[in-house]
Amino acid sequence: MIFDLDLGPLWLTLQLAGATVIVLLLVGTPIAWWLAFTSSRLRTIVEAIVALPIVLPPTVLGFYLLIALGPHGFLGSPWKDLTGSTLSFTFTGLVIASTFYSLPFVVQPLHGAFESVGKKPLEAAWALGASRLDTFLTVASPMALRGYLTAIVLGFAHTLGEFGVVLMVGGNIPGQTKVLSIAIYDHVEVLEYAQAHTLSLGLLIFSFVVLLAVYTANRRLPLHAT
């Protein structure tokens, strides 16, 4: 039963989760920073928007993303002009969709971490001659290390488990968009319980090990309360 198991979906899933986390850190950091330090009234609105994927059914999110990523959508159309190919039903499209889907799971821990760092150490760093970027890299980020760890893990894990959005946006193309959760669903549909079992158990154990490792590391990391 191990031998006829296609590990392609597993590999694809890890790639998707990895790519998504990288994009999310790049996109989520400035959003979280802004949320933590702005006094703008737009703050609450942005906070609410960022949190939307937590409450929305993945199919709703997936539906709108499908439209946005489609050849006439606001993301898909310029992409098509630029590259000649569409976004929907591609790996890139999946990364974009997952980025939206997992956004709150990265932004919220970072937001919390930056807030607990607070303005005080930043002001101290400025007074010592550090520029804003320098301060971010040498003071705020290391002090927010725990937040980053949590953000990475939650972002990764949440992307691993996504189903509805992938199904809507990516479909089920082997090697392109057929991720683990969809492969499991496929196996169950054709009553291949053994294969479904192996993949599910694999995912279960993998997730548990990762979380365990992170919580252990988190406990060992010094807590930088200010």
Partner 1 sequence: MSQLTANFNLAFPSFHLQANINVRAEGVIAIFGNSGCGKTTFLRCLAGLERSITGSMTLDTYTWQDESQGIFVPLSQRPIGYVFQEPRLFPHINVHANLQYGWKRTDKSVRHIALEQVVQVLDIEQLLERRPSSLSGGEQQRVAIGRALLTSPKLLLMDEPLSSLDLQRKREILPFIKKLDSEFHIPIVYVSHDLNEIVELAKTMVLLKEGKVAVSGQIEEVFSQLNLRHLIPENHLGALVDTAVAEQDQEFGLTKLTFSGGHLHVPHQERTIGERLRVQILAKDVSIISSPPSFQTSVLNLLEATVVEIGEVHTGHPFVDIKLDIGCPLLATITRKSLAALKLHPGQIVYAQIKAVALSSETYQ
Q: For binding to partner 1 (CB under 8 A), which residues are involved? A: 120-121, 123-132, 134-135, 138-139, 142-143, 145, 222, 224-226
C-alpha–C-alpha distance, residues 66 and 61, integer Å: 8
Smallest separation, CB 99 to partner 1 (Å): 29
When the beta carbons of 84 and 129 are compared against partner 1, the nearer one is 129
Residues 98, 106: Cα–Cα separation, whole Å:
12
CA torsion through residues 136, 137, 143, 146, sign: positive
What is the nearest approach in angstroms of partner 1 to the Cβ of residue 127?
Answer: 4
Q: Which is nearer to partner 1, 4 or 41 (CB)?
A: 41
Report, in Å, the least distance between residue 87 CB and partner 1: 41
Closer residue to partner 1 (CB): 14 or 130:
130
CB of 129 to partner 1, least distance (A): 4
Q: Cα separation of 34 and 24, whole Å?
A: 15
Of 1 and 223, nearer to partner 1 (C-beta) is: 223
The residue among 142 and 174 lying less far from partner 1, judged by its C-beta, is: 142
Shortest Å distance, C-beta 120 to partner 1: 5
